[in-house]
């Protein structure tokens, strides 16, 4: 069955470029970004993995583990890693799952047969420390993803988990946020003693909580 937001991310064991993992155990108390790419030794994927390696300190800062995946075997990932380092200037510093038997790809619905029946699409799953799926993205093979957007979503998920807020369109770190409709004005006064701007009774804007 298709994975949906709020589901527990399916657990699995897999071979990666950093050795075998059991997924849930490997995530531990961290957040996780699991992302697939169509194929090793392809141009867009090379730029994506180089960029993810460059951003690894940003993921670390947010307590997020990253793990890539394609249906290529581990020795192919390792050979390709040399090209990523050479052309992108950043060596792979996170594990990449070797899913030659498509076990994980099938579990997560990463192969979309009407797009391509053998290769994974560009899927992204953000998983929280309780192993719940919090975001899913699917991009076509031709389109490199924006990993700044993935970091932005992690920031807002971590923010909205901590405070009773949601983020408006195009929110960026430091921007105003919205008090969730489920919080009454009476309870909002306790949480936001500095007050808020009510554009409508349901649209209450406050500075981003610290």
In the complex, minimum distance from the CB of residue 51 to ligand BEZ, in angstroms, rounded to a whole number: 13
| Cβ contact 78:97 at 8 Å | no
DSSP secondary structure of 89-155:
S----S-EEE-TT-HHHHHTT---TTT-SSS--EEEEEE-TT-BEEEEEEE-TT----HHHHHHHHH
| Residue 150 CB-half CA count within 13 A | 29
| C-beta of 137 vs 183, nearer to ligand BEZ | 137
In the complex, minimum distance from the CB of residue 50 to ligand BEZ, in angstroms, rounded to a whole number: 12
| C-beta of 116 vs 208, nearer to ligand BEZ | 116
CA proximity to 147, closest of 61, 50, 72: 50
- 107 burial (CB, 10 Å; 0-12 / 13-18 / 19+) is middle
Question: What is the CA angle 25-53-110, rounded to 5?
Answer: 60
Residues with catalytic annotation?
45
Length of the chain measured in residues: 210
| C-beta of 16 vs 36, nearer to ligand BEZ | 36
| Contact residues: ligand BEZ, CB under 6 A | 38-39, 42-45, 141-142
In the complex, minimum distance from the CB of residue 121 to ligand BEZ, in angstroms, rounded to a whole number: 9
| C-beta of 43 vs 193, nearer to ligand BEZ | 43
CA proximity to 90, closest of 142, 49, 141: 49
Give me the residue label for tokens 């890539």: 68
In the complex, minimum distance from the CB of residue 150 to ligand BEZ, in angstroms, rounded to a whole number: 17
In the complex, minimum distance from the CB of residue 155 to ligand BEZ, in angstroms, rounded to a whole number: 27
| C-beta of 98 vs 141, nearer to ligand BEZ | 141
């Amino acid at each position: 069955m298709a994975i949906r937001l709020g589901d527990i991310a399916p657990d699995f064991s897999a071979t990666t470029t950093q050795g075998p993992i059991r997924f849930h155990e490997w995530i531990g108390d961290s957040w996780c970004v699991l992302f697939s790419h169509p194929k090793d030794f392809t141009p867009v994927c090379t730029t994506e993995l180089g960029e993810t390696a460059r951003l690894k300190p940003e993921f670390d800062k947010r307590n997020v583990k990253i793990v890539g995946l394609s249906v290529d075997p581990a020795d192919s990932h390792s050979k390709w890693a040399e090209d990523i380092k050479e052309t992108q200037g950043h060596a792979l510093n996170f594990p990449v799952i070797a899913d030659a038997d498509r076990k994980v790809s099938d579990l997560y619905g990463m192969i979309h047969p009407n797009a391509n029946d053998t290769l994974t699409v560009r899927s992204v799953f953000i998983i929280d420390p309780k192993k719940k799926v919090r975001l899913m993205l699917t991009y076509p093979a031709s389109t490199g993803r924006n990993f700044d957007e993935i970091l932005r979503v992690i920031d807002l998920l971590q923010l909205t988990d901590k405070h009773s807020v949601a983020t408006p369109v195009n929110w960026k770190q430091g921007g105003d946020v919205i008090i969730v409709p489920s919080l009454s004005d009476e309870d909002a006064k306790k949480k936001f003693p500095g007050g808020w701007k009510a554009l409508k009774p349901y649209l209450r804007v406050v500075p981003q909580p610290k």
